[in-house]
Structure 1
């Protein structure tokens, strides 16, 4: 299944890879294995590298690594103006890509057999607009995120390492959401056919996350759940209902005490407890509402998905 037929070889293939906090050895391994495998399997192939680091030395390492393996027809390196995360970086690469099919690599850490790249393409040629490749090795936080975001969903989003996307899928997803984008969710809910290929890791290579990237993912995960699910909305409604009942109960208790309690000081502890509980709920709701307003503001005022500083043709 690893061979690509003649018709498939004539497709124009783009590969978008996200670079952040990677070592030179990781870059060289990605270029000498993944890039070389794609370049050998297709007649027309372009590589787009999106650099999300603060210094331009990153791009120099990329150029040096590319000279040591067979190069694609077109190589572009996008340097983002500042750290913007994997979602914006891949979107920048997708906008520059011109291929009929686009590989998206959220990380250049390779823990799979490189022939899987061709298997994913063959699966796409069977009629799937999106094909995901992933394994089941996830952190507890990731498992919790996917469980929450898939609540009451007919189509589930799953963890993946990389994916191939048709031009039709890219065009449709671009029209679905203009603000904060979670591409995997949009691909699954685009209405186009998709499939998963699960694999067992062949080595222990894993993506290394910095503190800034972990904070970005946590913030993005909360935003995705607010936008693409109704979990936070339901929690807010339940909390509002609970505190409404508490307020009604306090009102009834106050009226009762006014007429029947001759020593109001005896209820001081209970009163303070209710007040503390009520204010806790108020501040929690304010936190949720503040997050919602921030998302609404960003979606309505943000005109660009990303900001590019430079694009180099190698």
Structure 2
């Protein structure tokens, strides 16, 4: 009787909100077992109901087999595995996992680098309960210079109300997910859309261990470069600024050529027909560059309104349990 009462108290102490944990998996056979066990230990200890969703981005190692083996060892826990049809990158894969999640709150684990204390997971969740729809966990130290450069350029030219930075994981409320889905059918860069969704966002910094940083393979590096370039075009005015400065430079150059042509004509230091030809070219290129500047501006606006990214492709969704 006493033992039953103690069990009831323990259950009642757990959070009533249903949570989902979406985990990105790509060739992580060496990390996935420990990561899943740690995530499950936190969720089972603190929540009455939860789900774990692993999005397998067409891994060519034994990640899928390891997930299946771990699922058989965790009593009472159901793990859903989303198998992508082919490698599609972290953004589209995470979108697929979030779309099938049913939690009131959703944890996003973009990678399995656990350079933080497990208590940080619940700290981020409790912070969301204070009125924040999106709470990020961000390391204080970032080893990659390319990441620092990207965020510096992005934040300068995006005019986002919430500057972006390197983050490890985050928690989203269901309201935030619904808001983001109402803004765009496809989400090419989640962090940028989250920052501009209009809801309250907070970031918790933590002391990280740089030795835990995961090295990216060639395919992932290429995907990240493409995503960075697309994000700068979609969410900032970098492309417009570059094209505008290029147009200004070329117009200045044509102006100088025009002056040189007129001077040559006055001083009779030019061959017959040269002056008229150069004047036509000068004014012609001047008009073309001016038009290009306007067209590029309108194209950038259209890209902002209509994302050309394709939606993800799923091979199957498999449910695993003991």
TM range (shorter): 0.7 to 0.9
Alignment of 1:31 with 2:48, yes or no, is: no
Q: Give the superposition deviation at 1:219.
A: 1.1
**1:274-307 Cα distance to aligned partner (Å, 9 max, x none):** x9xx9xxx9xx99xx7xx79x95995665x5200
TM-score by length of 2: 0.80
SS in 2 for 1:128: coil
1:188 alignment partner, one of 166, 177, 195: 195
Q: Report how many residues are paired.
A: 288
Q: Which has the larger radius of gyration?
A: 2
**Structure 1 unmatched runs, 5+:** 265-270
Distance 2:308 2:192 in 1: 23
The answer to whether the 8 Å contact 2:95/2:187 transfers is no
The answer to whether the 8 Å contact 2:21/2:107 transfers is yes
1:41 alignment partner, one of 42, 46, 65: 46
Q: Give the superposition deviation at 1:7.
A: 7.6
Q: Give the superposition deviation at 1:255.
A: 2.8
Distance 2:116 2:71 in 1: 21
The answer to whether the 8 Å contact 2:80/2:319 transfers is yes
**Structure 2 unmatched runs, 5+:** 1-9, 272-277
SS in 1 for 2:69: helix
SS in 2 for 1:224: helix
Distance 2:307 2:201 in 1: 30
**1:77-131 Cα distance to aligned partner (Å, 9 max, x none):** 0111111111101100000000000000000121110111111111111111111
Q: Give the superposition deviation at 1:6.
A: 5.1
TM-score by length of 1: 0.82
Q: Which residue of the partner structure matches residue 267 of structure 2?
A: 260
Distance 2:221 2:305 in 1: 21
SS in 1 for 2:194: helix
**1:44-76 Cα distance to aligned partner (Å, 9 max, x none):** 01000001125484311211133344552x311
SS in 1 for 2:23: strand
2:120 alignment partner, one of 116, 119, 129: 116
The answer to whether the 8 Å contact 1:36/1:69 transfers is no
The answer to whether the 8 Å contact 1:76/1:311 transfers is yes
